[in-house]
Amino acid sequence: MTDTQPDAPSDAAAPAVIDIEGLSMVYRGRSQETVALKDANLTVRAGEFISLIGPSGCGKTTLLRLVADLIQPSSGHIQVAGKTPREARLERAYGYVFQAPVLYDWRTVISNVMLPLEIMGIERQRRRERAADLLTMVGLEDFQRQYPWQLSGGMQQRVSIARALAFDPKLLLMDEPFGALDEITREAMNLELLRIWQETGKTVVFVTHSIPEAVFLSTRIVVMTPRPGKIERVVEVDLPYPRDERTRESERFFELATHVRETLRETH
Amino acid sequence: MDGSTARWRVWWPVVATLIVVVLLGYPLALLFGLPLARRDMLDLRKWIKETVEAQAPLVPAGATLHYNAAPAAGALIWRQALIGRAQVDPGTERVPVPNGFDAPVTIGPPFERLGPVLFRGATPLAADEAGTAIYTAGRLQMQGSVLALERPDGQATRYTFGNAGGPVFIDVRPLEEGTDYLVDGDVVVFAEAPPFGSQIRRVSSDYAVVDGSSGLVLFASPPEGNVVLAESAVRLAEVLAGEADGTNLRFRFARANILDGDGRRRVFVEDRLLNPVAERAEERVDGDRATFTFESDAGIVAVDGVPSTEGRDFSRSGRRVTFAQPPPRNARLRQHPDYILVDPEGGEILVAAAPTAGELVWTDRYTFYAEPSCGNTLIACFFALPQHPVPFPHWIAERVGPFFGKFALTDERNVVRATLYTTLGTLSALVLGGAIGILLAVVFVLLRPIERALLPWVIASQTVPIIALVPVLLLVLGNFGITIQTSLLPTAIIGGYITFFPVVVGTVKGLRSVDPLALDLMRSYAASSAQVFVKVRFPAAVPFFFTSLKLGTAAALVGALVAETESNNRRGLGFQILGQVQSGNVADVWILLIISGILGIGLVALIGLLERLLAPWRRRA
């Protein structure tokens, strides 16, 4: 096992996309304070696929939202592509995919994908081409003119991924994107995501509850523990690429999955 | 084929409901109409009045009577015991008697006296009550008998009679009291048990016909003078109820109950015609004067129709009458020489001088209530109602054609025109109310303090009764020089005033209904708040807006109708409804109600269509 310290760079050659140092987040309720994240340190290098795994309430989503500048930390530092999260957000340095597809009901599939480009102010013809390309990439080129309610859950989530990639961010933040899907669709989507990741060379931070999913997708798995949420350990996943269906059945896959599971159990 | 089946599947509940509603109209029409019909039937003022010219009841035996119009040739003329409408009965050859006739009518020979109360006539008699008319000493006798309460079983000897006190007879055999039976109050005890299945009767009125074919008649008590049969119909004069005992002054006609306003009435005491004309005092009634002079020196003195009492209210000295209290100024002071109507509708008179005992007070020409003018049955009266609060549905349907065709399309009073006018008014109200509603909603969502400041007032605005607000608005508009009778403004403003409220509430809810994640997403795109509003909040609020606008539409239509009515705007549907209500065309009012209902449905459907166009994503398969 080649577990590393959380802040130790795995591949010192690649530049750090996310650099987290001593990050804490305390939610102040009416009567009590909830420590959602305590003293987290993590460095994500370009091109990595990082999974955040852990039970509910361990601060996975909080960590992701802090990076995305959707909330502000109580203490500690974050750098996203060498800038503060706010600067990174304003420069549209990342794409965000939620657990729910969060598609806009009143927009067709293609114009949902075009929305970020619209906001960026890209001219009509170019954003249409780009959106069409992205939909082709996620295999929905035939569904451009449909409304979201006409699509299945998996298809909706693929639209959501296409939309997150719309302005070609270096970083993709995914918050349990396949959590609401059935196992079969989920595995198909995993393969799809791996393909997209390899095609585009993005850096992905992926929150999940599923150990096989984390092992199958990631280059590194960040294991987190709850109350207070903190980063317990980082597991290197040395499964070779390209990964496919057979990878799931390999011995190494099981070893890694077991290792992650044991780590989770220990720390719980 | 498939398409029509599918359409039917969608529409059949609507069609079924419509049919049920229409069918329900019939019992409802009866439910609301029958009490009115009953009221009409019972209201004496709505009865047909019939004037009777009758023969004096004082018919001496063997007298010959003369009438005004001859009855049909060959008809058997019979005597009517009671005033009323006679029935035609060809089988027995008895004919109805018209009002008065002129034909020599004979009174038959006297009955043969068989006993103190038993008589036999020369001709057969009808056993039924209306068939015979028997006089004794010139007075009509009433026929009547009742059956024993128990059925004879051939063994029982005691039988009870209700409401009868005369002699008893079994079948056609008269019995003699003392030998054949004994009377103990209501109970009659027979010497031998009446045979099984026989009819035991007892005279309950003046007499009873025991055996019609042999002319056998049994009287309740021994009659005075000769018993004679009138062979012709005689319209009886109405004899006053009330005993002429020498002191009684008050008499009441049983049937001649319309004395007031019946100028042709004649009241007699025996053969003396009473003078109906009242005398006026020679002096003016000025409120101070107490002494008045009349034409004659006797009679009933009445102030405003109320008889005064001599000795208490006034004193008399020849033709001069002096009141203890001067009659009020302009009071109607009269002296009635012979009689006064004390209860004109009830047929009661007060006579100036009491008739001597045994004298007959009667009237030979009088008006009475013959039958309800609407008809003799409740259902006839229902159909005769001048207006029905709930007409039969097919009556409404019959009115549709004439109602729509009443005025040309170019006429302001045309219904289609009025409907279009009101539609236009309501649509402008919706545009106004919708625009104000959206504006307020946006302000409320953007600036919370303004919402906190204004929302209570917005709510309060809806508790102000429209009916009170409209006149104020009309006054204001009038002051601005707008001719409110022809302007669409009152309609638009009142409708808008009603509509904006649900639109504000709905749109605010819609603008706030956005998924927080959708807002996070916009934040991750670094979108400006203007972009968030235009691209997320607005589209999310569209369905809410339309739903609330639909709610507002129905209310806006009501507001428009109220505004039209109150502003006397003749062009709109509201005024039409009011006009038809005032002229009592209930069926037309119903048509207008249905039109407004359809208009409401149509407007809501129009909004729905607009929603489909503006929010196509809402269309579900």
Mean pLDDT of B470-493: 86
- Do B518 and A104 lie within an 8 Å CB cutoff? yes
For B319-324, what is the mean pLDDT? 90
Average pLDDT over every residue of B482-490: 83
CA distance B442 to chain A (A): 19
pLDDT tens column, A4-51:
544 444 455 677 788 888 888 888 877 788 888 888 888 888 888 999
Average pLDDT, chain B: 80
Q: From chain A, pick out residues whose CB is under 8 angstroms from the CB of B526.
A: 89-92, 119
Check A70 against B520: CB less than 8 A apart: yes
Q: Say yes or no to pLDDT of B393 above 80.
A: yes
- Residue B515 and residue A147: Cβ atoms within 8 Å? no
Tokens linked to A24: 């804490």
B525/A149 touch (CB, cutoff 8 Å), yes or no: no
What is the average pLDDT score of chain A? Answer: 83
Higher pLDDT, B134 or B411: B411
Does B438 have pLDDT greater than 90? yes
The radius of gyration of chain A's CA atoms, rounded to the nearest angstrom, is: 18
Give me the mean pLDDT over the B581-607 stretch.
89
Of the pLDDT bands very low, low, confident and very high (cuts 50, 70, 90), residue A90 is confident
B76-119 tens-digit pLDDT: 343 333 322 233 222 332 333 333 332 334 456 678 888 888 88
**Of the candidates A179, A173, A217, which has an alpha carbon nearest to the alpha carbon of residue A99?**
A179
Q: Is the pLDDT of residue B181 over 80?
A: yes
CB contacts, 8 Å: B615 with chain A:
106
| Residue A235 burial class via C-beta count within 10 angstroms: exposed 0-12, middle 13-18, buried 19 and up | buried
- 8 Å CB contact of B535 and A119: yes
Q: In this predicted model, what pLDDT tens digit does every residue of A220-255 receive, in sequence order?
A: 888 888 777 878 788 888 888 778 888 888 888 888
Q: Is B90 helix (H, G, I), strand (E, B) or coil?
A: helix
CA distance A267 to chain B (A): 31
Task: Compute the average pLDDT of residues B195-217.
Answer: 85
All residues of chain A having their beta carbon less than 8 Å from the beta carbon of residue B621 are 150
What does the DSSP 8-state code read for residue A30? S
Give the per-residue pLDDT at B618: 65
Give the mean pLDDT of B452-470. 88
Contact A115/B523, CB-based, under 8 Å? no
Three-class SS of residue A253? helix
For residue B28, the model assigns a pLDDT of 92
pLDDT at residue B93, as a whole number: 28
Residue B284 CA to residue A202 CA, distance in Å, equals 121
A166: closest chain B residue by CA: B525
- Interval B213-251: pLDDT, tens: 788 888 888 887 777 775 544 455 566 666 677 788 888
List residues bridging with B280 in a β-sheet.
B334
Q: What is the pLDDT of residue B62?
A: 39
Q: What is the CA radius of gyration of chain B?
A: 41
If you average pLDDT over residues B304-316, what whole number do you get? 88
CA torsion sign, B394 to B397 to B401 to B402? Answer: positive
pTM for the whole structure:
0.62
CB atoms within 10 A of CB A207: 24
Label residue B36 exposed, middle or buried (CB < 10 Å: 0-12, 13-18, 19+).
middle
Contact between B374 and B37 (Cβ < 8 Å)? yes
- Interval B60-71: pLDDT, tens: 433 444 444 444
Chain B partners within 8 Å of A120 (Cβ):
525
Question: CA B553, CA B546: separation in Å to the nearest integer?
Answer: 10
Task: List, in sequence order, the alpha helices (H) in B43-70.
Answer: none
| CB–CB contact B535 A94 (8 Å) | no
Dihedral through CA B604, CA B608, CA B614, CA B620, nearest 10?
160
Mean pLDDT of B509-516: 89
Mean pLDDT of B514-523: 88
Numbered residues of chain A with Cβ closer than 8 Å to any chain B Cβ: 65, 68-70, 89-92, 94-96, 98, 100, 102, 104-107, 115-116, 118-120, 147, 149-150
What is this model's ipTM? 0.84
CB pair distance less than 8 Å for B526 and A89: yes
Q: Locate tokens 């009242």: which residue?
A: B278
- Average pLDDT, integer, range B410-438: 90
CA distance B507 to chain A (A): 16
Please classify residue B103 by burial: count the beta carbons closer than 10 Å to its beta carbon, then call 0-12 exposed, 13-18 middle and 19+ buried.
Answer: middle
Question: With 70 as the cut, is the pLDDT of residue B508 above it?
Answer: yes
Share of chain B above pLDDT 70, in %: 83
Instruction: Give residue-wise pLDDT tens across range A184-225.
Output: 878 888 888 888 888 888 889 999 888 888 888 888 888 888
CA A174 to chain centre: 3
The helix/strand/coil state of A171 is strand
Cβ neighbours of residue A138 closer than 8 Å, sequence gap 6 or more: A158, A159, A161, A162, A192, A196
Cα separation, A15 vs B485, in Å, equals: 80
pLDDT score recorded for residue B598: 92
Q: Which two tokens stand for residue A224?
A: 């987190």
Residue B541: pLDDT above 50?
Answer: yes
Query: Are A119 and B527 an interchain contact pair (Cβ–Cβ within 8 Å)?
Result: yes
